């Protein structure tokens, strides 16, 4: 139950003023005690007089003990009240109204005229200066002098001698600690009592150059050459990062930090804006955008560009040049492997990095080779071909079959012997013609096996293969390069370790994907099932900075002209996790 309580007070003349407060809970208690949800300042009331509970669309009112009250002028001890009803308790009248916005109800609480007894009771506590030996002027000067000595002179003595300042802090007298507006943030406590580290000029607020003296690599929030934001250029560091506040706001996490500007970006910028407005994750946030890798060129000169596209784009496909059916590998009945049926799960291939944010790369050697054997001849099952080197594959096949025909090794079960029978005493050495013919047959067999491997079986199962007319290459077949996106959403931050209790299929629909072209990234609706905005009540409250960083590492220094500003890189945990494999997929600079 959420109730808006509006206390109406009479001021001078016939005017009124009101003060609003909010009650949230199951039971609204009413009485004179300070622990009551609605405290009524009437000394004739009981400490705990009555209570209100929600009953369907109305409220249920019940008096405590033998207390009584009036509802719409009728005496009662319990009643159901609805918007429009009036409750009289002592000198107070409470009017029930329909709650505005997301409130269930609203209560207007107004005190009536005090009784004669109340007026006499209150007057007994009044006393004027005329009844004392002090005049207003004398008392004012005296108190001013006391304040001056206690809170200025005595603490100020410590400014001239640090030993005296330390002694004053040990004595039960006012010291210079009274001048502090609040405790220092833990990140600044290494300064100790050296206030001059930040407060350089007396009676002058902290300047940006004092901040830059330590924070030498503070970077822009946006590229200043692309977007002109006067607010970001002219705002002081201390405007957002406030020290000596409790609770601390040195690093702001509230939703307003981003939403105040991003709620209507076009009203804040003089340059064109390509970013959609957002101010609340649950109610005002655009669909996720993915950094898609788009290839161009052939197998020998393929290049990749990054294209930003929304996750709900109907034409969205992943162009990794890989063939991989997730549904086959995740079949509940299992998949055939060299040693029999294998029941696979997502974690067999997708394992988080040490930081928990991203997944380790999937490689043939670590994740596929146990089942996808690169054998080529049933007669020699222990011989395998190298992965990812088409020219080397053809050369190895030619060498293997040439050795078979030249040295008399055991031929493959699928091939015939290329050595003719000889009579006893006849020389076993091949003639030049025989050797040439044998080598030609070996090359042809190697070519036939390679064609089968590249175009119909081993390679063609997982890869796109094309023929290349290049005389300088041993293999006419070339496998199209495979490149998988490592960071799909570089503009945001996601931690898999925080979601380790969830099943992968809750966000990634891999079990029904039959093609590697399927993009299995979740949309914003999937995240909204658990995450709400910063003010969410029935979901996990998620602020903007939970997924986005403010100072972007590749935008240049925000205060390059301040003394002490430096281009020296300061690496965050985010950079350590992402590493060099991110390439152009992230706004954070890769380590040189």
Strand pairing category for 50-55 and 303-310:
unpaired
Lowest mean pLDDT among 115-124, 266-275, 545-554: 115-124
As a whole number, the mean pLDDT across the chain is 84
Say what the pTM is: 0.63
pLDDT in tens, 464-488: 999 988 888 889 999 999 999 888 9
Mean pLDDT, residues 416-442 taken together: 70
Domain range for residue 170? 138-177
Give the integer Cα–Cα distance in Å for 485 and 294.
10
- String of b and e for 189-213 (b: at least 16 CB within 10 Å)? eeeeeeeeebeeeeeeebbbebbbb
For residue range 177-216, what is the model confidence (pLDDT) as tens digits? 777 778 888 888 888 777 888 888 877 889 888 898 888 8
Other CB atoms within a 10 A radius of the CB of residue 475 amount to 20
Residues 119, 38 share a domain? yes
Residues whose CB falls within 8 Å of the CB of residue 180, separated by 6 or more in sequence, listed in order: 244
Q: Are residues 117 and 9 in the same domain?
A: yes
Nearest to 484 by CA among 364, 369, 345: 364
Is residue 439 in a domain?
no
User: Does residue 59 form part of some domain?
Assistant: yes
In a domain, 366, yes or no: no
Position 519 pLDDT exceeds 50: yes
The answer as to whether 553 is a domain residue is yes
pLDDT in tens, 263-303: 998 887 777 788 899 999 999 999 999 999 999 998 889 99
Q: Are residues 189 and 279 in the same domain?
A: yes
Domain check: are 73 and 147 in the same one?
Answer: no
Q: Are residues 171 and 198 in the same domain?
A: no
Query: Do 77 and 30 share a structural domain?
Result: yes
Helix axes 432-455, 390-407, angle to 10 degrees: 140
Alpha-carbon torsion (231, 236, 239, 242), positive or negative: positive
Residue 106 half-sphere exposure toward CB, CA atoms < 13 A: 14
Percent of the chain with pLDDT over 90: 39
Mean pLDDT, range 119-134, rounded to an integer: 59
Same domain, 118 and 148: no
Q: What is the pLDDT of residues 142-183, one digit of tens each?
A: 999 999 998 888 888 877 777 888 888 888 888 877 777 788
**Residue 134: pLDDT band with limits 50, 70, 90:** confident
Predicted local distance difference test score (pLDDT) of residue 128: 65
Residue 498 CB partners (closer than 8 Å, separation 6+): 356
When pLDDT is averaged across residues 381-395 and rounded to a whole number, the result is 92
Q: For the purposes of burial, counting CB atoms within 10 Å of the CB of 542, is it exposed (0-12), middle (13-18) or buried (19 or more)?
A: buried
DSSP class of 518: S
The position carrying tokens 């959420």 is: 2
Higher pLDDT, 193 or 323: 323
Domain assignment present for 576: yes
- Domain end, chosen from 115, 148, 177, is at 177
Together in a domain, 261 and 208: yes
Question: How many domains is the chain built from?
Answer: 3
| 283 and 199 within one domain | yes
**Residue at 541 is within a domain:** yes
Note whether residue 451 is domain-resident: no
191 and 259 belong to one structural domain:
yes
Tell me the mean pLDDT in the region 219-229. Answer: 82
DSSP conformation letters of 30-52: EESSTTSSEE---TTS-SS-EEE
Structure tokens belonging to residue 381: 């099952």
Whether 143 maps to a domain, the answer reads yes
Residue 490 Ramachandran class (φ > 0 left, ψ -120 to 50 alpha, else beta): alpha
Q: What is the token pair recorded at 138?
A: 């004398």
**Strand, helix or coil for residue 81:** strand
CATH number at residue 26: 2.60.200.20
CB atoms within 10 A of CB 51: 19
Q: Cis link prior to 247 (omega < 30° from 0)?
A: yes
Tokens of 4: 């808006």
Residues 172 and 188 in one domain: no
Are 346 and 513 spatial neighbours (Cβ–Cβ below 8 Å)?
Answer: no
User: 263 with 277: CB under 8 angstroms?
Assistant: yes
Cα–Cα distance between 553 and 133 in angstroms, integer? 69
Which pLDDT does position 126 carry in this prediction?
52
User: Which pLDDT value is given to residue 326?
Assistant: 96
Label residue 579 by pLDDT band (50, 70, 90).
very low
- Tell me: do 151 and 210 sit in the same domain: no
Provide the pLDDT for residue 480.
94
Is 184 within 8 Å of 191 (Cβ atoms)?
yes
């Amino acid at each position: 139950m959420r109730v808006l309580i509006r206390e109406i007070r009479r001021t001078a003349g016939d005017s009124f003023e009101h003060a609003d407060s909010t009650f949230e809970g199951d039971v609204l208690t009413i009485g004179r005690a300070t622990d009551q949800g609605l405290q009524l300042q009437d000394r004739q009331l009981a400490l705990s007089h009555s209570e209100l509970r929600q009953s369907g669309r109305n409220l249920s009112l019940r008096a405590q003990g033998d207390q009584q009250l009036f509802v719409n002028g009728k005496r009662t001890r319990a009643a159901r009240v609805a918007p429009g009803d009036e409750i009289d308790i002592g000198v107070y009248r409470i009017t029930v109204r329909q709650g505005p916005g997301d409130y269930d109800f609203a209560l207007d609480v107004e005190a009536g005229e005090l009784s004669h007894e109340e007026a006499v009771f209150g007057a007994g506590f009044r006393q004027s200066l005329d009844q004392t030996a002090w005049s207003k002027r004398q008392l004012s000067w005296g108190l001013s002098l006391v304040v001056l000595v206690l809170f200025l002179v005595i603490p100020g003595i410590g400014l001239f001698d640090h030993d005296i300042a330390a002694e004053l802090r040990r004595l039960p007298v006012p010291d210079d600690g009274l001048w502090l507006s609040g405790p220092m943030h833990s990140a600044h406590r290494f300064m100790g009592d050296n206030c001059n580290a930040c407060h350089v000029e007396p009676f002058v607020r902290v300047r940006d150059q004092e901040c830059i003296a330590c924070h030498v690599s503070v970077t822009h929030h946006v590229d200043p050459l692309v977007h002109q934001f006067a607010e970001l250029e002219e705002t002081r560091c201390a405007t957002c990062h406030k020290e000596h506040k409790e609770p601390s706001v040195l690093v702001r996490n509230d939703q307003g930090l981003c939403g105040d500007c991003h709620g209507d970006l076009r009203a804040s910028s003089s340059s064109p804006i390509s970013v959609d407005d957002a101010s609340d994750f649950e109610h005002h946030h655009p669909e996720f955008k993915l950094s898609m890798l788009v290839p161009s060129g052939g197998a020998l000169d393929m290049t990749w560009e990054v294209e930003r596209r929304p996750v709900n784009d109907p034409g969205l496909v992943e162009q990794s040049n890989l063939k991989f059916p997730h549904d086959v590998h995740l079949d509940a009945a299992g998949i055939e492997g060299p040693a029999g049926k294998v029941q696979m799960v997502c974690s067999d291939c997708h394992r988080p990095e040490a930081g928990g944010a991203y997944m380790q790369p999937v490689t043939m050697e670590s994740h596929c080779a146990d089942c996808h054997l690169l054998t080529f001849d049933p007669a020699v099952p222990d011989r395998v071909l190298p992965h990812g080197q088409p020219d080397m594959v053809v050369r190895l096949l030619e060498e293997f079959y040439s050795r078979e025909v030249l040295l008399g090794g055991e031929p493959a079960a699928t091939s015939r012997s290329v050595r003719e029978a000889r009579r006893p005493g006849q020389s076993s050495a091949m003639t030049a013609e025989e050797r040439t013919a044998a080598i030609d047959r070996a090359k042809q067999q190697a070519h036939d096996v390679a064609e089968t491997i590249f175009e119909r079986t081993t390679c063609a199962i997982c890869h796109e293969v094309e023929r290349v007319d290049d005389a300088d290459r041993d293999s006419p077949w070339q496998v199209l390069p495979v490149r998988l996106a490592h960071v799909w959403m570089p503009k945001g931050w996601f931690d898999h370790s925080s979601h380790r209790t969830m099943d992968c299929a809750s966000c990634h629909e891999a079990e029904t994907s039959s093609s590697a072209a399927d993009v299995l990234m979740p949309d914003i609706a999937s995240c909204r099932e658990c995450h709400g905005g910063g003010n969410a009540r029935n979901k996990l409250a998620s602020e903007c900075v939970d997924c986005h960083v403010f100072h972007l590492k590749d935008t240049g220094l925000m205060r390059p002209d301040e003394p002490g500003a430096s281009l020296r890189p300061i690496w965050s945990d985010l950079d350590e996790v992402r590493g060099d494999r991110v390439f152009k997929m992230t706004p954070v600079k890769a380590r040189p």
